[in-house]
Amino acid sequence: MTAEVAEPVPAQTQEELFEAVIAAEQRIEPRDWMPDAYRATLIRQIAQHAHSEIIGMQPEGNWLTRAPSLRRKAILLAKAQDEAGHGLYLYAAAETLGVDRAELTEKLISGRQKYSSIFNYPTLTYADVGVIGWLVDGAAICNQVPLCRCSYGPYARAMVRICKEESFHQRQGYELLMTLMRGTEAQRRMVQDAVDRWWWPSLMMFGPSDGDSPNTARSMAWRIKRHTNDELRRRFVDMTVPQAEHLGVTLPDPELRWNEERGGWDFGEPDWSELTRVIHGQGPCNTQRIERRRAAHEDGAWVREAATAYAGKRRAEAGTRTADEAQNTPEQENGK
């Protein structure tokens, strides 16, 4: 939406214009007028998403130095670097809404902003790396593909590239699990154990059930969100059950049954009290994740200071050059 008008638009008209852009499936851009609550919702959501990408590097980063082969190490390194990139695109998208990245990082490490609860679980074996790729990145894809059509332009555009990389993450996870399943009995048991531990937390990645998700309706009306939490969760289960069968693992849900009428899988209810506990800081690794993030931020202070000093030096040099050029111009012209 670009309001090319000579005079300021009255508030009501601006709101109507905003609504019209949303209804026409066009994008809201950073300089456009938007309701304060729309801006605040996006800042919260994009920041939480960016924090999740960055904190999400930790569980798998745990295995970088112990990867079973050079090939696996190269794949895992590439994936962790992708996640860092996702975090950076998303912080940049949040900044277009008028917040500062330093402020968002501060809110994360002081516990005032959240990240996805899934990253508070530990990675006990290398099979966890595969299961995270398959289930956690798989759930992220279900959540994020509809965000490519989000009404806020910078967020929607960032999601296009992120989703392409997430699908690589999911495939590498599945390929790793397939390799383990073709291995020894102990390796197959290791995969099953990882699936048992990650299945329910993966289902919780879609957030509470629709009845307990008060902000969903408004986010859907603004076309930030396109589907409810329960719709996305069902979509994920329908996508994953045949993959589990092909892999030869059992999903740890005795209520999992094909529903002929609906043409989808019925499944059990996650333990919502566990999600509440983990969100409120009592997951297995909450403290460790934030402490590590804080330490990394503090250790990196010299890099930020050096970059700022260098940028200042470049600006000063550019300023001197401009002044010199201004002085030299008449002489040069005379010389021609």
Scan residues 3-62 and list those touching Fe ion (CB under 5 A): 53
Q: How far is the CB of 137 from Fe ion (least distance, A)?
A: 4
CA–CA gap between residue 53 and residue 86 (Å, rounded): 6
CA–CA gap between residue 211 and residue 228 (Å, rounded): 10
Scan residues 86-115 and list those touching Fe ion (CB under 5 A): 86
Q: For Fe ion, which stretch binds (CB under 5 A), given 110-118, 161-169, 194-202, 301-309?
A: 161-169
| Complex with Fe ion: residue 3 or 141, whichever CB lies closer | 141
**Among the listed residues 27, 51, 169, 197, the single contact to Fe ion using CB under 5 A:** 169
Q: For Fe ion, which stretch binds (CB under 5 A), given 76-84, 88-96, 256-264, 265-273?
A: 76-84
Where do we find the tokens 């197959």? 188
Residue pair 176/72 in contact (Cβ under 8 Å)? The answer is yes
Strand boundaries in the chain, DSSP class E: 257-259, 264-266
Q: How far is the CB of 217 from Fe ion (least distance, A)?
A: 27
Q: How far is the CB of 68 from Fe ion (least distance, A)?
A: 20
Scan residues 269-328 and list those touching Fe ion (CB under 5 A): none
CA–CA gap between residue 67 and residue 178 (Å, rounded): 17
Q: How far is the CB of 173 from Fe ion (least distance, A)?
A: 9
Q: Give me the half-sphere count of Cα atoms (radius 13 Å) on the Cβ side of residue 284.
A: 9
- The SS3 assignment for 320 reads helix
CA geometry: angle 145, 148, 151, nearest 5 deg: 135
Q: How far is the CB of 86 from Fe ion (least distance, A)?
A: 4
Size of the site for Fe ion (CB under 5 A): 6
Which residues are near Fe ion by CB under 5 A? Answer: 53, 83, 86, 137, 166, 169
